[in-house]
Structure 1
Amino acid sequence: MSYAELARARYSCRAYEDRPVEAEKLAAILEAGRIAPSACNKHPTRVLVCDTPRLREKAATAAHHFAKKGSVFGAPLVLVVCDKMGAAWLRSYDQMNSGDIDSSIVVDQMMMQAEDLGLSTCWVCHFDPRVAIDELGLPSDLYPVHMLTVGYAADRIADPEAREARTIPMSEFRLTV
């Protein structure tokens, strides 16, 4: 499958089969995130694997709007992606911190690797970081930025016309100056 086909096949899955993600697939997903580029190779991203009922329930407590069957969207696997405080590169001109960007690249690479392995994902940002810190017992130097649910889809991607209707037209996306 070409990258363009992979990108078009990927969607935000919100219902999962009650089937675990195989260890070798999880390892490949984590490796895709580990090798993701980061600003000045600082690699400030850390990932907590929530693959037990207890950890999935704790993740779902933080993302309570999406809690389903003891997990986030009922996923058998939730990856909590964190920024290691003080580890990211800072842009000297305005002190912009690259941590959010770096962790987004990690999630993107893990998400596309999962899709390539026949798994589905949903990138979740609507959760309470304070609740995630408390529930998951994260160290004080880790701040949760994203969750990525992973598993075998129990729903289906919308048809191409419906997807296109929700996508920004190229005429608006591409700027001309």
Structure 2
Amino acid sequence: MDFEKLIAERYSVRKFENKHPEQKVVDKILSAGHLSPTGCNFQPQRILVLNTDDSIEKLKECTKCHFDAPCAMLVCYNKNESWTRPYDGALSAPVDAAIVATHMMLAAYNEGVGSCWVMHFDPSKMRAAFNIPENIVPEVLLVMGYPRKDSSPAELHSASRPMSETVFYDSF
């Protein structure tokens, strides 16, 4: 699909068919995350694929924003493997995880799989439910699956501020 068309059409899906994405489609989505750029190519991302009925039931205990999706991918990062900016100690890993999640979200849409970016989850419940080690930080949850026919963009989907409010040249 044409990239401009893809980013214009993609929206947060909150209604899913009760059908798991095929493994070859899941693999393509994961490959997009694997190919994503990361700070100094440290690749701190760790992705937990949740695609069994049992894991989805556990997920529902961690977030109310699961939207009954048949599949989810929890994008985490290893805080011990992040590039660190020397001036202020900022980790690149949270940004790296966001880049990975974005690539996966767009790849999913390109394969006909809808997704919704979820930050509303309880990290401590996620840790307990899925045995996440202390050095692994859950950052972004992508719930995904095939959109139901009655799925449509949320009302605010196309509401964007004018670029003049968000883009500046040479100085603020």
Q: TM over 0.5, yes or no? A: yes
Where in structure 2 are the equivalents of 1:63-142 lying within 5 Å? 63=63, 65-66=64-65, 72-142=66-136
CA contact (8 A) 2:13 2:153 kept: no
Q: Relative to structure 2, which stretch is displaced further, 111-120 or 136-145? A: 136-145
1:171 and 2:164 aligned: yes
* C-alpha RMSD over aligned residues: 1.6
Q: Unpaired segments of 5 or more residues in structure 2?
A: none
Contact 2:12 2:153 in 1 (8 A): no
CA deviations 1:2-59 (Å, max 9, x no partner) are 2111001111111100111001000000011011110001000000110011111112
Q: Distance in 2 between matches of 1:59 and 1:124?
A: 12
How far apart are the structure 2 equivalents of 1:124 and 1:74?
13
Alignment deviations for residues 96-123 of structure 1 (CA, whole Å, 9 cap, x no partner): 1011000000000000000000110001
- Aligned to 1:62, the other structure's residue is in SS state coil
> Stretches of 4+ moved more than 4 A in 1?
none
Provide the rounded CA distance (Å) in 2 between the counterparts of 1:77 and 1:47: 13
Percent pairwise identity = 34
- In the superposition, relative to structure 1, how do residues 163 and 91 fare at CA in structure 2: closer, same or farther (>3 Å)? same
Structure ranking higher in helix proportion: 1
Unaligned segments of structure 1, at least 5 residues? 67-71
1:8-27 paired onto structure 2 within 5 Å: 8-27=8-27
Aligned pair count reads: 169
Task: Note the C-alpha offset of 1:168.
Answer: 1.6
Letter of the aligned partner of 2:120 in structure 1?
H
1:158 is aligned to 2:153: yes
Kept in 1: contact 2:77–2:93 (CA 8 A):
yes
1:45 aligns with 2:49: no
User: 1:156, CA displacement in angstroms?
Assistant: 3.0
Whole-angstrom distance in 2 between the partners of 1:117 and 1:85? 31
Normalising by the residue count of structure 2, what TM-score does the alignment of the two structures yield? 0.92
